A and B are shown apart, each in its own frame.
Chain A
Amino acid sequence: MKLRSAIFLASAAIALAALTLAGAPLLAADDKIDPVADAKAFQKFFKDKFPKVKFEDFVNGPYSMNEDLYRQWQDKEQFPPYEFSLELGKEMFSKPFKNGKTYADCFPNGGIGIRQNYPYFDEKEGKVITLELALNRCREANGEPPFSYVKDEMAALTAYMAFTSRGKPMDIKIPNDPRALAAYQNGKEYFYTRRGQLNFSCATCHVQSPGERIRAEVLAPALGIVNAMPIYRSEWSGMGTTSRRFTTCNSQIRAVPLNPQDDEYRNVEYYLSYVSNGLPISGPGARP
């Protein structure tokens, strides 16, 4: 009996080992991180789903999904609701800090026309650096207190920087560094992971259901969604940054939001921006 049991156990172990070995290369191939292939598949998915939408129009979010909304938006753009923020941002950007330096001293090309390169992966730090984070670091390096990441001053500064980059194609690089690939992959995982009591992921709304209504809102496609940031939202009666968008999305699905600029949010912005490479910067935007 003991011998029979031993033979059975040994056979089972061998079979399991064989299965594991046979499955290993398959899993490895499946798990390979390939941002280029991802971006291609991501963009194709939206082009196929919305064949009538021009590629560059995806940055206009819900307006690209609905003809009536598109017409309303064109009218709205005559007197854009974000204009006050843009003016404020321009003024703040050129006003020197107490030490005499300005934001321009912290950024390449004086901070003008560079929005399309953010976020980037900092190989020294081993982390993703977003524009919002870089702006607050600039302030702190010059002896100024950081701004709230979600609205007002931060939205104004990023609105101005986006405006100076309008029309430039998103151009996010992933350096040949395993940490950068890991950040990208973690961002992708965050994007597709369901969370909150409503059991929604970012993709539930912005991949599976763009163009459909959720209550009174028309959902925006994930493709190009970050290109329009920051945005004036009528629902907010004010401006909001990318950080605000992520944290409010989390609350809406009954998940406790993380802190703005936590690694998860930085990584998901990196992922979303990378897969939107080639689409023009359109920020600041306006949304219902």
Chain B
Amino acid sequence: MRNLMQKSALVLALFAADAAPALAAGSEDEFKAAYAAAEAANKEAGKLRNQWTTTANTLAAAKKAADAGDFDKATASAKEAEALAKASIFQATSEKTRWKDLEIR
């Protein structure tokens, strides 16, 4: 079971890492753009009824860093949140058919 959890988390983490663009040093404008993109992706995940708690936490961390004036950190968190949101969209979309693989028949 533990292995299963680790594998699942790893696959998604890899996907998220792959989807994340290279983290660049951020100005306030960069942060705002990155945050808006992350929020939009998370909203899309919401429409699919598949938001992740980690996306919300990472968005909150981005906001907190921005409020403290650390836009490098804020931009990095926002980009991570966007990657997480995109991974949740990918999951919801692929599971529309993949759920049948687990079904007891």
B53 touching A209, Cβ below 8 Å: no
Which of A42, A45, A193, A258 lies at the interface centre, i.e. has the most chain B CB atoms within 10 A of its CB?
A193
Which of these, B4, B53, B91, contacts A251 with CB under 8 Å?
B53
Chain A residues in the interface with B (C-beta under 8 A): 38, 41-42, 45, 188-189, 192-201, 203-205, 207-209, 212-214, 219, 251, 254-256, 258, 264
Instruction: Identify 12 residue pairs between A and B in the complex whose beta-carbon atoms are under 8 Å apart, listed by A's number.
Output: A192-B99, A195-B50, A195-B92, A195-B95, A198-B8, A199-B8, A201-B102, A204-B4, A205-B1, A209-B4, A219-B1, A256-B53
Inter-chain contact count A-B, CB under 8 Å?
76
B91 touching A199, Cβ below 8 Å: yes
CB of B12 closer than 8 Å to a CB of A = yes
CB of B56 closer than 8 Å to a CB of A = yes
**Chain B interface category by residue count:** 20 to 34
B52 touching A41, Cβ below 8 Å: no
A41 touching B56, Cβ below 8 Å: no
CB of B9 closer than 8 Å to a CB of A = yes
Which of these, A189, A199, A205, contacts B12 with CB under 8 Å?
A199
Q: Closest CB of chain A to B47's CB: distance in Å?
A: 13
Residue of B nearest to A200 (CB): B8
Which of these, B95, B103, B105, contacts A194 with CB under 8 Å?
B95
Complex: how many Å from CA A196 to CA B51? 7
A254 touching B52, Cβ below 8 Å: yes
**Known pairs A209-B1, A214-B1; A195 contacts B100 (CB<8 A):** no
Q: Closest CB of chain B to A54's CB: distance in Å?
A: 20
Q: Apart from A196-B53, A254-B54, list 7 A-B contacts with CB within 8 A.
A: A41-B104, A194-B91, A195-B92, A197-B12, A199-B91, A201-B102, A251-B53
Complex: how many Å from CA A25 to CA B100? 18
Q: Which residues on the B side are within 8 Å of A219 (C-beta)? A: 1
Q: Which residues on the B side are within 8 Å of A189 (C-beta)? A: 99
Q: Closest CB of chain B to A30's CB: distance in Å?
A: 8
Q: Which residues on the A side are within 8 Å of B104 (C-beta)? A: 38, 41-42, 45, 207
Q: Closest CB of chain B to A223's CB: distance in Å?
A: 10
A255 touching B102, Cβ below 8 Å: no
CB of B40 closer than 8 Å to a CB of A = no
Q: Which residues on the A side are within 8 Å of B9 (C-beta)? A: 197-199
A198 touching B1, Cβ below 8 Å: no
Contacting residues of chain B (39-56) with chain A, CB-CB under 8 angstroms: 49-54, 56
B11 touching A255, Cβ below 8 Å: no
Residue of A nearest to B103 (CB): A192
Q: Closest CB of chain B to A198's CB: distance in Å?
A: 6
B49 touching A258, Cβ below 8 Å: yes
**Known pairs A45-B104, A207-B104, A214-B1; A256 contacts B98 (CB<8 A):** no
A264 touching B100, Cβ below 8 Å: no
A207 touching B102, Cβ below 8 Å: yes
Residue of B nearest to A43 (CB): B104
A194 touching B1, Cβ below 8 Å: no
Q: Which residues on the B side are within 8 Å of A193 (C-beta)? A: 95, 99
Q: Which residues on the B side are within 8 Å of A194 (C-beta)? A: 8, 91, 95, 98-99, 102
